[in-house]
Structure 1
Amino acid sequence: MGEWKASGAATLVGSMPHKDRVRAIDFILEKVPEIPVWPQLVKYEAEQMMVQFLEGLPGLRKESGQIWVETQGAAFEEELYRFYEDYLAASEDDVFLMDSRFGFGEETGRTFFAFLQALERLDLPYRAVKGQVVGPFTLLSGLKDQDQRALLFDERLQDVVVKHLAMKARWQVNRMKSFGRPVILFLDEPALAGFGSSAFITVTEEQVAQLLREVMDAVHDAEGLAGIHVCANTDWLLAFRSPVDIINFDAYQYFDRFALYRKELAAFLEGGGTVAWGIVPTGNPEWIDSETVDSLCDRWLQEVTTLTGPELPMERIFSRSLFTPSCGCGTLNEREAERVVELTRGVSDRLREKLGFRR
């Protein structure tokens, strides 16, 4: 973690609204060539945030557009047994892992594999390559059983889902590290914005921390850098106390909430951590059209200057900074999404000029 420096580079959260895979991939490789990311094209059901990572989960059922996990009956017990057999084998043998239930299938992996093929063809100056996986808390709180109860409240499924995602993450890092560059893998955890609410009153901080830790440990075991993305406010101590390498948040709307953790931030950066500032808005098309590279740079500099001091100099903050959109671009139209990407790259380039940093 401590050796790799972001140095103000630009990258993306993941989702894009495009239908044309070649166009989406080529656009990303052109605009964010330093840390390119494979796009989740949400117009394809198989590439939507949760759906894309469900393959191989025991008890998974789909009917009339509904997806759930059937946890009753002998069939589930048999699927559970085979799952743990595969999990143990994959944990001990990467050769087994790479051709197991934990990889992308033909439909879920279509854009991912096209992205890898494009990287193989092109000679890009990239310093890292980025992917993403749905976070365990988000999947467990969003996916339900046959009784419409979130899997988060089933101890058996808590264990299954976190191990399932840990192997999915490890598989993905192994595929991307073949290019000989550092691999960044974000855990997308939008549901953490609701942690602490009445809906999760029985869920403890330690439970959530253990879920995150198990997936992040799998990323580290595969020699990747683990990131976490939360697109709203949350209890940021969960992130700072985890083994995460990169924290990504909506710095456009929630900077003041994140700034409350200045002490933890200083220790995180001192220890080699990176903050991915989601300074380019995605939540409102009017914001996207009204902001410019200069206005966003001024906004970031004004806000970050309030954090600086002898123990947290600007140079350290910037050297450990990435710049991203505030969230994925999948809910936007193509024009809006492409403007967001261009603004993100522009912010990175302009701040490097202003602060005297090179790539």
Structure 2
Amino acid sequence: MSLRFATTGIGSLPHEDIRRACTLILDNCTIPFWPQFPKLAFEQGMVAQFTEGFPALRVDSQRERIWIDRQDVDAIARFYETCIDNASIPISPAWATGFGALEGFLTGRRLPVLKGHVTGPLTFTLGIKDNSGKYIYYDEELREIALMLLVAKARWQIQSLKRFADRVIVFIDEPMLSALGSSAYIGVSTEDASSLLRRMIQEIRGAGAMTAIHCCGNADWEMVFDTTVDIVNFDAYAYFDTLNLYHERIAQHISGGGFLAWGIVPTLTIDDIRREDFDSIAERFTERFERLAAEIGIEALAEHSLLTPSCGAGILDVEMAEKVFHILGRLRQYLIERFGG
């Protein structure tokens, strides 16, 4: 299957009706993805969802708190015994209702491509603290454990999704890339972030999947391209101009077989999606696509472009989230008619 103007989602949906959510995905995404349902439980949020199995994990669901008890050294020692090379660690239904739900819809089917996702190591380690209140990123051992755990959960997804698809793409969700260099995260170096991502990409590829990095803000795109990730997913609705500055790197990325995933349908504020419609999004995308294509070539860019929402849709209401995916599905058809498919 060509990925030319293929459509997929980032992760979260506001739905509590699981069947309705999965139907929305299958009707509008040529690359179906398993949905996160953060409104069902605290444990199904973006960061919390992948903490299951972290040694010395403590969870207070009522207060929506999660932390690592650094004093529980025995649990940390046991983790090294169980998380050996090429380990795969499942995400249980209580932490990822959407995974099993999508599998149920796919039973008996074989698709060209499916999408999994995992919280990126930077966002993950800057989203969890230890019992002293320090982000686990700043603890070298816990940071390494986090990477091992995330890789093992990505590996499990790949193995599971390959039962239903010829090809799997794993998106590494890294919104914290936009915070690199800010005063709030002094001590978080670009070099360390790049190393974490490179190692994760290598492990995911080794497990047989394509890789993608998603960042819904402004990022050091030079560093992102340097990771050699297969797909760069950016917020094309709000941050196109910042990425367009790197058109020479984009050309190199595409000529080397890489892809861009355009996050063109807004999800970060309800006001944005409320005022937009298919016509306005199609106009915005086409103008930006043609501007970049002037530097790269229309055919090359079209063949290496995917379409996504700008970010997860979990903060929207159900009506607006469904509007996002209906626009996305229509946009693909429009672009195939306009630029060929």
1:37 corresponds to = 33
1:166 and 1:214 in contact (8 A); partners too: no
- Which of 223, 244, 247 is residue 262 of structure 1 equivalent to? 247
2:56 and 2:68 in contact (8 A); partners too: yes
1:163 and 1:214 in contact (8 A); partners too: no
- Aligned partners of 2:305 and 2:147: how far apart in 1? 29
Q: Percent identity?
A: 38
- Which of 145, 163, 183 is residue 198 of structure 1 equivalent to? 183
Deviation track 1:318-352 (CA, whole Å, cap 9, x = no partner) reads 11010111111000000000000001111111011
- Aligned partners of 2:152 and 2:162: how far apart in 1? 15
Q: Does 217-226 or 252-261 show the bigger shift?
A: 217-226
1:46 and 1:52 in contact (8 A); partners too: yes
1:312 aligns with 2:296: yes
Q: Say how many residue pairs are matched.
A: 338
2:327 corresponds to = 343
Amino acid at match of 2:112: R
- Which of 9, 18, 32 is residue 6 of structure 2 equivalent to? 9
Any stretches of 5+ residues in structure 2 without a counterpart? none
- Which of 245, 250, 263 is residue 278 of structure 1 equivalent to? 263
1:7 and 1:319 in contact (8 A); partners too: yes
The SS at the match of 1:112 is: helix
- Which of 219, 230, 233 is residue 234 of structure 1 equivalent to? 219
Any stretches of 5+ residues in structure 1 without a counterpart? none
1:223 corresponds to = 208
- Which of 115, 119, 134 is residue 106 of structure 2 equivalent to? 119
1:157 aligns with 2:153: no
2:93 and 2:99 in contact (8 A); partners too: no
2:155 and 2:207 in contact (8 A); partners too: yes
2:180 and 2:189 in contact (8 A); partners too: no
Q: What are the residue-to-residue correspondences of 1:162-181 with 2, within 5 Å?
A: 162-181=147-166
- Aligned partners of 2:142 and 2:6: how far apart in 1? 38
Deviation track 1:99-148 (CA, whole Å, cap 9, x = no partner) reads xxx2112311332012112111456xx43101111111001011001111
- Aligned partners of 1:17 and 1:104: how far apart in 2? 20
Q: Does 201-210 or 336-345 show the bigger shift?
A: 201-210
1:354 corresponds to = 338
Per-residue deviation at 1:61?
1.0
1:136 aligns with 2:121: yes
1:31/1:305 Cα in 2 relative to 1: closer, same or farther (>3 Å)? closer
2:312 corresponds to = 328
- Aligned partners of 1:36 and 1:151: how far apart in 2? 33
Per-residue deviation at 1:200?
2.2
1:26/1:304 Cα in 2 relative to 1: closer, same or farther (>3 Å)? closer
Deviation track 1:21-75 (CA, whole Å, cap 9, x = no partner) reads 111112211222x211111011122211111100110111123522111112xxx
Per-residue deviation at 1:307?
2.2
Q: TM-score, normalized by length of structure 1? A: 0.90
- Which of 26, 37, 49 is residue 52 of structure 1 equivalent to? 49
1:284/1:62 Cα in 2 relative to 1: closer, same or farther (>3 Å)? closer
- Aligned partners of 1:78 and 1:199: how far apart in 2? 32
Q: Does 293-302 or 128-137 show the bigger shift?
A: 293-302
- Aligned partners of 1:165 and 1:287: how far apart in 2? 32
- Which of 79, 99, 111 is residue 83 of structure 1 equivalent to? 79
1:169 and 1:215 in contact (8 A); partners too: no
Per-residue deviation at 1:159?
0.7
Q: CA RMSD in A?
A: 1.6
- Aligned partners of 2:76 and 2:12: how far apart in 1? 31
1:293 and 1:350 in contact (8 A); partners too: no
- The 4+ residue runs of structure 1 with deviation greater than 6 A are none
Deviation track 1:138-170 (CA, whole Å, cap 9, x = no partner) reads 010110011111111111111111111011111
Per-residue deviation at 1:5?
4.0
1:28 and 1:37 in contact (8 A); partners too: yes
1:170 and 1:221 in contact (8 A); partners too: no
1:8 and 1:322 in contact (8 A); partners too: yes
Per-residue deviation at 1:79?
1.2
1:312/1:284 Cα in 2 relative to 1: closer, same or farther (>3 Å)? same
1:61 aligns with 2:58: yes
Q: Does 246-255 or 192-201 show the bigger shift?
A: 192-201
Per-residue deviation at 1:222?
1.2
- Which of 178, 196, 203 is residue 211 of structure 1 equivalent to? 196
Q: TM-score, normalized by length of structure 2? A: 0.95
Amino acid at match of 1:178: R
